[in-house]
Every structure is written in structure tokens, then in C-alpha cells.
Amino acid sequence: MWTPDALFAEMRTARCNLALPRFASSTVFCWAEHSTRFLGLKLASRERSRFIRGVPWIPMSLFSNLTSRSCLVLSACFLAILSGAELQADPPPTYTERWRPQYHFTPPDTWMNDPNGMVYYDGEYHLFYQNNPFGNRWGHMSWGHAVSKDLVHWENLPLALAEENGVMIFSGSAVVDWNNTSGFGRPGQPAMVAIYTGHYTGKPLQNQQIAYSTDRGRTWTKYSGNPVLDIGEADFRDPKVIWHQPTGRWVMAVSWPHKRQVRFYASPDLKSWTHLSDFGPAGSTSGIWECPDLFPIRVEGQRDPRWVLVVNVGSGAPAGGSGTQYFVGDFDGTRFIPDPISTPKPQPEWVPTGTVLADFEKGYGDWQTTGEAFGSGPATGTWDGQQAVDGFQGQGLVNTFRGGDGAQGTLTSPLFQVDQDYLSFRIGGGRLPDQVGVNLWINDRIVRSATGANAERLAWQSWDVREFRGQQARLELVDRATGGWGHLNADHFILASAPARNATEAALWADFGRDFYAAVTWSDVPPRDGRRLWLGWMSNWSYANDVPTYPWRSAMTVPRALTLRSTPAGLRLVQTPVEELAELRETRHQLKRVKLDTAAAWLETLNFPTGLAEVELDLEKVPDSGSVALTLQHGTTGITVIRADLAAGTLQVDRTQSGRSDFHPAFAGVHTAPLRVDRGRLRLHVLVDVSSVEVFAQNGETVMTDLILPPTSDLRVGLSAEGAARALQIRSASLWALRAAPPSNKTSVP
């Protein structure tokens, strides 16, 4: 039987000259990629960006059952394709591409996700990251590498740890082994040790492995005794290792994703590990647990530090999709104990008494179906091939995943009179507006619509229908989608005097925007600095592979300094942009002690052509009703609104009109965070880059991070208020244009 190696040997004999295209995922390869393995080509990553127009992608599974004759025929066909193919090389990255961040770190021309191995050593902040060195979609996970002396200007370095021998390099951490406990160091040269997850591509296994460097992280050697920790699990990953001074040993926090647990281990030498304890499930458990972090941290105004355990979750974050939760407590060297005062209390579900329009316990009744998606009657739970469905009431529910996402159809209610103020219902399934969801029809037009959240769990949604009281209405459930998440789950439609309320998890969230994930802190920051520093991946697993940037994909947030703050609800994590970013500021525009209308008129005179800006607002005499909004307007059509709803006590980022969002239905949205206005003062600190907005409210107590893809870079800032908030005062307003901070080397390093 012909193997890829043998086939390419034949092609090599034929002196076939192949170039390496980008590939789309870890499970899809192309013939040209194999040319670098089997034809002996050694290409720099910038050369890997070449592609052959017209060459098809070919799954590896195709090779498994080919006869030698078939393989030769396929080879001949491929050579024929090559003979007429047009070879085209990508230009090197310029860092001026559309939507390329200008002061946030991005890889030159490949895919990036989680920050890894963040450590400070010999005057440099190291940032390793999950990287596909061959393309700009997830796959072939390896560790990319960059360093910075000031957390602002970065230098790209060669790939640090590469996928090889069927083992991808998943997320992890790095430490400086000052005491040479591992034996990897040299006199006067402590080793930098990376602790990472080995993800096996040929079998369902993840374990923990190490590598070391004795030249400031420039080259790495994988430990010959790997793995150093293996419990035989398919999902067991993302080790964060710290030196625990009181016990004089290394401590590892590592996620057990599907059990929603963090496991703690100890080691004297980074090579042998002993299990200590487990934490969880706790807090948010809707999504899998990943990328833990564990660190002591200063409490503002207090001498004694506390401990924070960070757990990133793959889904279920406040804005939807992936996000970062944390726990406040103490760590005694063996176990993490949450602080009961700082742990929020869960709120139970509440369902009002009202008129039940449908509960689907006895079929569809008078509801009418079209197509095949809804079948002849309700489902009773999860269909074959579907992820587990929960959150419905009773035994019956609408579930259009009948044999998959291919079926289409509608389910329509009989007419009913709107005689209550709110219409509530449980809904799950795909987030596909206009394709999958629930519509309310009145007078032959749709007046309300709802869709799922790309989750099988059904959750309450409610419509305020007071303006329609006394009118005849009809509900329409639709499934017009055939692709991924192209199905609807729905149950229990009820008219009542108040909206239904979902149960809330007892979770603390570091960031309430849509694009903050896998946040971890830097190790070994010098004690004289005194800061706890971190950053996160500025994207969301819901749509990360689809964000339309090229040749790179994904960015990191700005580095942030962390503290804990005492609040009426307990200790809360506070984040502020690192002070080093101030060096990017240009001319300061400032206004003090004016009315809101005066400030709004002044803002209209300012313009930021590059789209790079920093805004600081300090508002006083802020009432407990009305709202105030800061508007970021790019050109005439790109509008992002940051709104404080003072009556509700919330802060929102509305990116529904910010720019391009058609690449994924989950991108456009309004994201909401709790906001505590303290003694009539409201402070907003906003960082705007070409394709992102980071909001730090109340000196970092509430933080929101969101990507935007505006139609133009030209930026203007607006300010407005409604209701009682029109009378608030501007204590101070400061705005700066910011300079770009591209890396010192803009191309991938061989």
C-alpha cells in the first residue's frame, strides 16, 4: 500500500516543485503541506504563506484505503493540476492591514489563541501563545513567542515549542527555576522551564510535559522523561505552575474540563508530581473549565494579601460563549478555600403565574406545522447525535434536531389575545437570527423576535408586550437553517404580569464583554515592581475562526494590573491598563467642570483619523435614574455605544451597528455588566484600537472587552444623556490620540 511518504518520494523523483499553502484545521491537510515533510523542503514561516491557487484540500483519511494504482493515478492528477496552477506568494505582513490592531499584540501572519508561559526574566516579559505556524485558523498547536521590555513594544521570536511526533503543544505556563530544583540550569544561568499539555492527535489523551531553556528562552529542549504527569484522561490540560514559598515546593493547578474541576499537585523538582486536592464544581459550570491560574494578590488598603483562583470557561459567560471567572479565597499550599463573604449567592429561577399558551405536554394541539423540522409532535428530550438538552419543563418540548440540522419548517400557534404585560418562553438551540427562532406576529408583521444562544440548554427570554395589549397575536417558531446550530429548542410559552427570570450562577466574572478569554498572569515579576499583571486572548470561541482578518487572526488584550477591592458585596477583582501604555499618548485634549451639553459640543470638534484613542471621563452628580452614553462613531455608519443605565445599575457595550458582523450570527450584540455608582461618581476609561474597545469603569471594577470591525478608521466620540442624567456634571474629560506600537520585526521569524 502506498503511504504519503512513498507517494511523495515518487513525486520527488519526478522533481515536482511544491509550495506550502495555509491549511484550515488540524484534521485537514493538503498535498503541498506534505511536500515540506516528504520532499525535504525547509521553509521559513513567511514562505509557508505561499499558496497554490486551484489546488484542492485533501483529507488525510483519503490515503488510508488507496491501492497503489489509485495512489499513482491520484499523484498523476495532482501533478497535472500543478502544471496549470498559478503560484502566488503572499506579501509580507505590513501591520497596516485592514482591522490590524496597532497597539495590541498580534502574530505576524498566523493563528493565535491562548496566552501561554508568561514569565519575566532578565529584563524581558515573555509572551508565548497558542499558535498554528502554518495558517490562520486553529490547528497544529505550537507555542509562538514574543518578548517585550515595556509591555508595549514587542519583538517576534522563533517558534518556541513545535508540534511533533503526533503531540500538539497545548496551553501551559513557564517559570524560572532559580534554585535549580530541576537540574536543568547551569551555574549563574537558571533554567526557564515550560510546563504544557501534550495533546495526542492519534489517540484520546492529554498529559503534562515540560521543556527547558538556558538561553533566555531562545531555544528549548523537551524533557526526555515526558510526560511528567499522566492520569490517562482525554481532557486534562492547561497547567499553571507557581513556586509556593511557605511549603518550599512547586504547585500546579490544572484543569479537569468536563468534571468542572481544578486539580492541585505538588513537586520538588518539576518532574515528579503528587496529587494534593481538587476544587469544584463551583461558580459557573455551564461550560468546560480551562486555563486555570492561582496567585496571591494585594487588597487595596490592606497589608495581607488574598488568593485568587482563575478558571476560564468554554461557554456560559455573561455575554455568551467563552469567558473568565474567578474565585477569591485562601490557598494553604494544599487546597483552595473560597471566601464565603466574597462568593455571590445563586438566585433561583422564578416563573410568574399567568396564562400558559403552550407547554407541549399533550402534543402540538391547534398549532400548525409545515416542513419536516417539527415533526408530527413534540420531542421528549435529546435526539440521537445531539448534545444533551436540558432546561425544559415537564416531558415535552420543541426540538427540531431530528436527524441533524438539515430539516426545515415552521410551527405556528392559533390566534390569541395579548392580555398581559409580558410574554415569556424557554428557548435554546442556534443563534441564527431570521433563520432559527421565535417570532411574534401582530397585524401581519413581526413585532418581536428571539433566537437561541448556540447552546442546547433552554433559558427564559421575555418580551415586554404592554404596547400590544388588547390586540390579536400569533406565535411562529421557525427553522430555516441547514448548517451548524441550525435547530430550535423551545418550551412553555406564558403570558403574565411580570417576566420570568432565569436562575443565576454564583460566579464572579473578570470581564463582561464578549472577547476576553484564557487570561493568565505573568510569573516572576520582580518584587520591587509589586504588580500582578495579566492579559487575555481578545476573541471568543463562538466565532474566533471566522473573524475576517488576514493574514493573521486574533489579538491579545492590553496588559492589565490587578488588585482586589473591598465592596459591599465582598472582595472583587479590579483591572487597570498598565501605566506603560501612557507613553503612546499624543496631545491631551482636556475639559473640566462643565455641564454635559458643553462637553458634548466640545467632543464634536475632535477627530481621531487613525482610530487609536484613549478616553477618560469623570462624571459627578450622577443620579439613580436615566442613562448616559459614550458613542464611538467610525465614519457615518459604524457606531459603538457604551451606555450606563443608572436605574438598572448596568453598563452596556452595543456593537450591533459597529461595523461588519455578517461573518457569524453571534458577533453582533449588546453586552451588559453590573455597574456600581459610588456616591454620585461615575468614571469611564476607554481604550480604542483599530478593531477593539476596552472599557474600564469605576477605576477598573467593571471591565468589558469587545472586538469591533468598523467601516473606517476615522473616529469621533460623542456624549449624550437621557432622563435625569441630563443634569449630571463633567468633573473632567481627557482624550488622547495614541501612537501605533508595531513590533520591532513585522515578519515571522524562521
Of 590, 584, 587, 618, nearest to 603 by C-alpha is 590
Q: Which of 496, 516, 533 is the last residue of a domain?
A: 496
* Beta partners for residue 211, in sequence order: 194, 222
Confidence grade of residue 346 (pLDDT, cut at 50, 70, 90): confident
Which residue did the predictor score with more confidence, 45 or 372? 372
Which residue reads 523537551 in cell numbers? 222
Place of cell 461558580: 283
- What pLDDT sits at residue 750? 62
On whether both 366 and 296 belong to a single domain, the answer is: no
Please say whether the beta carbons of 682 and 698 come within 8 A.
yes
Say if residue 46's pLDDT is above 70.
Answer: no
In this predicted structure, what is the pLDDT of residue 19?
33
Q: Which residues of 416-441 are buried (b: 16+ CB within 10 A; e: fewer)?
A: bebebbbbbbbbbbbbbeebbbbbbb
Counted domains in the chain: 4
Q: Does residue 333 come out as left (phi exceeding 0), alpha (psi in the -120 to 50 range) or beta?
A: left
Q: Average model confidence (pLDDT) for the chain?
A: 89
- Domain presence at residue 17: yes
Same domain membership, residue 720 and residue 639: yes
Residues 258 and 374 in one domain: no
Quick one: 138 and 255 in the same domain? yes
Residues 115 and 132 in one domain: yes
Q: Are residues 278 and 295 in the same domain?
A: yes
Rg (CA), the chain: 27
In this model, does residue 343 exceed pLDDT 70?
Answer: yes
Whether the CB-CB separation of 208 and 149 falls below 8 Å is answered with: no
Whether 528 maps to a domain, the answer reads yes
Average pLDDT over residues 372-379: 96
581-629, pLDDT tens digit by residue? 999 999 999 999 999 999 999 999 999 999 999 999 999 999 999 999 9
Residue type, 524: D
The C-alpha cell that represents 644 in the structure block: 450606563
Count of residues for the chain?
A: 750
CA-to-CA distance for 580 and 573, rounded, in angstroms? 21
CA distance 251 to 263: 10
The arithmetic mean of pLDDT across residues 364-378, rounded, is: 97
Q: For residue 607, what pLDDT is reported?
A: 96
Strand partners for 643: 629, 652
Look at residue 282 and tell me if it is in a domain: yes
For residues 540 and 664, give the distance between their C-alpha atoms in angstroms, rounded to a whole number. 12
| 345 pLDDT tier (thresholds 50, 70, 90) | confident
DSSP, collapsed to helix, strand or coil, labels residue 169 as strand
Residues 203 and 342 in one domain: yes
pLDDT for the residue numbered 505: 82
- For 602, the domain range is 580-738
User: Residue 590's domain is classified under what CATH number?
Assistant: 2.60.120.560
Of 109, 114, 421, 706, the active-site residue reads 114
Q: Are residues 228 and 375 in the same domain?
A: no
Condensed to tens digits (0 to 9), the pLDDT of residues 185-210 reads 988 899 999 999 999 999 999 999 99
Q: Could you confirm whether 114 is annotated as catalytic?
A: yes
One-character DSSP codes across 323-390: EEEEEEEEE-SS-EEE-TTTSPPPB--B---EEEEE--SS--TT-EEEESTT-SS-B-SPPTTSPP--
Domain assignment present for 104: no
Provide the pLDDT for residue 61.
Answer: 40
Residue 175 has pLDDT above 80, yes or no: yes
C-alpha–C-alpha distance, residues 500 and 391, integer Å: 13
Express each pLDDT in 489-501 by its tens digit.
Answer: 999 999 999 999 8
| Cα(485)–Cα(360) distance, integer angstroms | 22
- Which pLDDT band holds residue 89 (cuts at 50, 70, 90)? low
pLDDT band at residue 68 using 50, 70 and 90 as cut-offs: very low
Please tell me what DSSP assigns to residue 726: G
pLDDT at 570 over 70: yes
Residues 595 and 667 both lie in one domain: yes
Could you tell me if residue 267 is inside a domain? Answer: yes
β-sheet bridge partners, residue 449 = 439
Question: What's the pLDDT tens digit per position in 621-650?
Answer: 999 999 999 999 999 999 999 999 998 899
Asked if residue 103 is part of any domain, the answer here is: no
Q: Are 295 and 520 in contact (CB under 8 A)?
A: no
Please check whether residue 595 lies inside any domain of the structure: yes
Q: Are residues 273 and 418 located together in one domain of the fold?
A: no
CATH number reported for the structural domain that contains residue 163 in this entry: 2.115.10.20
Q: Is residue 99's pLDDT more than 70? A: yes
Chosen domain end from 37, 54, 88? 88
- Are 151 and 559 spatial neighbours (Cβ–Cβ below 8 Å)? yes
Q: What is the pTM of this model?
A: 0.80
416, 354 contact by CB (below 8 A):
no
518 plus 443 within the same structural domain? no
What pLDDT sits at residue 745? Answer: 87
Higher-pLDDT residue of 474, 48? 474
Q: Are residues 513 and 423 in the same domain?
A: no
Nine-digit cell string for 602: 466640545
Residues near 681 by beta carbon (within 8 Å), at least 6 away in sequence: 618, 619, 620, 622, 731
Residue 26 lies in a domain: yes
